[in-house]
Structure 1
Amino acid sequence: MTASMQKGTYESIQVLRGVAAILVTLFHAASHAFGSENVFRVGNAGVDIFFIISGFVMWAATARRPPTPGEFLRHRVIRVVPLYYLFTLALLVAWLVLPSAFPHMAAPTAGHVLLSLAFVPHADPAGTAFPLLAQGWTLNFEMFFYLLFALALLLPAARRLRLLAALLLALPLLGLLFPETLLRRAPALGLCNPLLVEFLGGILIARWVERGGRPGAPLGWAAIVLGAAILALAPNPAADNDWARLLLFGVPAFLIVIGALCVETSAKNFRVGPAPLLLGASSYSLYLSHTIVISAAGKVLGGANPLLAATVATTVAVLAAIAVYFAVEKPLLKLLRGSRDPLPRVQVAPL
């Protein structure tokens, strides 16, 4: 076992968090610079990697010493909510002070702001199902998954996996029954989405590792290469087809995550170095802040070459996220967690 595994951590998961956040950042930077989401739509697969990691981490962090549902939810709220609120409210204040700087942003209403802060999917003033901080749509899924996971913690360990599997498979199938007209009237029903299966994929990986699954590094690298090849070569799914996304993004993301864990668990001295670990640690700050930074960088760069503009914007976003991590996120978590931390440090917390 690696030294990090003996302490209950997985460096490969931390690195993949950084990779996932950079993929999403590249997607938005390229979309902004080239004026099209199709230039690097595969960057959206970073979200799918995040969802699988989240399922893995939640199971791994609670398997040996399950917290109460209340303890679990308190821990997740501390991890997710403060920084999300900070960037959401910062965006709101920026719009109030200088609305001309946000020409594509519809005037936020009080209801839109409150529902965004409550992680409730809803139609924004422009009629789309995005919260005020647009990338927060993934956090709506994360918080819904946490609620389902907290419910499962009420059960004995032997039945917990069965309940989660039943819920995370049944809800997407239920979603197939909702007509588009109903989903437009009640966007919260959109949580019955096939992307929930990705959380289950992460849980199954954690369960497999827990039971001693060790196929070795060669198969691990093969899974990583196959997953990356599918992402690179397969057609990108349409933005509104989440079943296709589950196949074309979710399956390769699953292969990449399980492959990385196979590589790590087969090595006695697995080390990745401080820089990749730092990118992983600052991935949440990067995920929340990157669209604001990219927008600001776009205004400064003006009519620069799109490839150069996307590269510069991504680099600046990463550097800004590292600064936010050290100056805001890390001290804020230390302050809020204090000495009461009900979950063992099995993993660094996911997005």
Structure 2
Amino acid sequence: MSIFTPLDRAAASAFELQGSYKGWIHSIEGLRGFAAFLVYLVHYATLIRPWMPEKSITYYVSETLFSIGNVGVDIFFAISGFLIYAMLIRRERPFLPYAKRRIARIYPVFLAVMLIYTALSFVVPSESKIPTGGEQAVWYLIANYLLLPGIFDIEPMIVVAWSLSYEMFFYLVIPIIMTVCGLRKVPGTLRILMWFLLWVGVYFVAPDHFRASMLIVGILVFETSQLISRDRGSASITLCALTAFAAVLAFKASIYLDVVTFNNAGKLSKVLLFGACYLLCIAVFCKDGWLSRCFSGRYFRYFGNMSYSFYLIHGLTLKFIFLVMGILLPAEIYASSLWFWVLFLPAFLASSAVSAALFLLVERPFSLDGVGVFDLMRSRSVSAS
């Protein structure tokens, strides 16, 4: 028996999840893991920046990855739009049980991480974001615990938590829109037109909230999936999706690095990103091509299944790593491009380990299938005996 077989079984037991509905698309899990990795690039590049000699090749590599990594949140939004819309458009669901389930999906892990951040704010006040005034501090904490940063101009205590504000707003508003507009009775082509026009409206009317409009990408992908065949044109669509996605990432990086400076370059990048994410999701969710099969790989999926925990806790893990590094190897003395390459994988593995613990202790038992780490340990001991 291969030495990896027990490890494979343990990983499957811990991180494999049962699809929530018939026809579950496993490649979604893998793409979610890829999105989480992109977000990791942002925070890793940010925190290692003091050790990067300016104008070095590695410095530009780091800055490029920073600009590329921001797309990870956009992919997360597209995935959420696809999944929630797919669930609701199939049949009407009672609002209160649905809302309760959505809150249960978001809050346990969020509350666990928020409590850690709150405690550390008092332990390490130099890193705290809590205002010094008593009343201001209370209101700031209430706003963060209620997921108000993001939609409102409030600094989030957890850097990435701004996106959860939009997620929760989408969760609660989308079933109301469907019921009021009677969307389940509207032909699919008209729904596609309606959602596209809504995206255009957000683009022109509410540019400050544009990133949340990437949720509409997922909606349009679902509607498109009802009109196309899974097995026709897979290779060509996959090639188009990868080409478009790579081109958009290169364009965004060029803007960030001031290589591209023409007027309205930023606005153009938003339009191109919308199209590239749409094509990417079509290739991954709606086709049986090699890209979809790649993201369906088990370790892509395992990482994707714990990606929400990773999303919320990896920044704190990285912050701890670089705070310790700042004490032992201060940047003003030990700055070197080598650190970027030496620490990249260990920092990622450390972040993944902490995230796995959060997933097994909080997210899986309280937000997913109710199976906790101790249940997994008991089931393994029974199977071994």
- Which 10-residue stretch deviates more, 41-50 or 110-119? 110-119
2:31 is paired with a residue whose SS is helix
2:90 is paired with a residue whose SS is coil
Cα separation, 2, equivalents of 1:142 and 1:213: 30
Looking at CA atoms only, which structure, 1 or 2, has the larger radius of gyration? 2
1:25 to 40, 54, 62: 40
1:13 is paired with a residue whose SS is helix
Aligned partners of 2:105 and 2:368 also within 8 Å: no
Instruction: Summarize the Cα distance change of 1:297–1:249 in structure 2 as closer, same or farther, 3 Å threshold.
Output: farther
1:334 offset after TM fit, Å? 4.9
Instruction: Summarize the Cα distance change of 1:83–1:5 in structure 2 as closer, same or farther, 3 Å threshold.
Output: closer
1:281 offset after TM fit, Å? 0.3
Aligned partner of 1:222 in structure 2 is 239
Gaps of 5+ in 2: 1-18, 51-58, 258-264, 372-385
Aligned partner of 2:205 in structure 1 is 174
2:139 to 82, 97, 111: 111
Instruction: Summarize the Cα distance change of 1:31–1:175 in structure 2 as closer, same or farther, 3 Å threshold.
Output: same
Aligned partners of 2:295 and 2:301 also within 8 Å: no
Aligned partners of 1:26 and 1:314 also within 8 Å: no
1:327 to 361, 380, 384: 361
1:117 offset after TM fit, Å? 1.7
1:95 to 112, 118, 121: 121
1:250 to 263, 274, 279: 274
The amino acid across from 2:37 in the alignment is I
Aligned partners of 2:33 and 2:300 also within 8 Å: yes
Over aligned residue pairs, what C-alpha RMSD do you find?
3.4
1:309 offset after TM fit, Å? 2.5
1:231 offset after TM fit, Å? 3.9
Q: TM-score, normalised by structure 1?
A: 0.77
Instruction: Summarize the Cα distance change of 1:167–1:117 in structure 2 as closer, same or farther, 3 Å threshold.
Output: farther
Aligned partner of 2:250 in structure 1 is 233
Instruction: Summarize the Cα distance change of 1:312–1:231 in structure 2 as closer, same or farther, 3 Å threshold.
Output: farther
Write the deviation string for residues 58-94 of structure 1: whole angstroms up to 9, x where unpaired: 1112222221333332221111122112211210111
2:177 paired with 1:146 = no
1:260 to 280, 284, 290: 284
Higher-helix-fraction structure: 2
Aligned partners of 1:13 and 1:260 also within 8 Å: yes
1:6 offset after TM fit, Å? 9.0
1:57 to 72, 80, 83: 83
Q: TM-score, normalised by structure 2?
A: 0.71
Aligned partners of 2:39 and 2:311 also within 8 Å: yes
Aligned partners of 2:252 and 2:269 also within 8 Å: no
Write the deviation string for residues 162-208 of structure 1: whole angstroms up to 9, x where unpaired: 765555543443326xxxxxxxxxxxxx5xx2223311111011012
Cα separation, 2, equivalents of 1:15 and 1:152: 30
Aligned partners of 1:68 and 1:154 also within 8 Å: no
Aligned partners of 1:234 and 1:248 also within 8 Å: no
Aligned partner of 2:161 in structure 1 is 136
Gaps of 5+ in 1: 177-189, 338-351
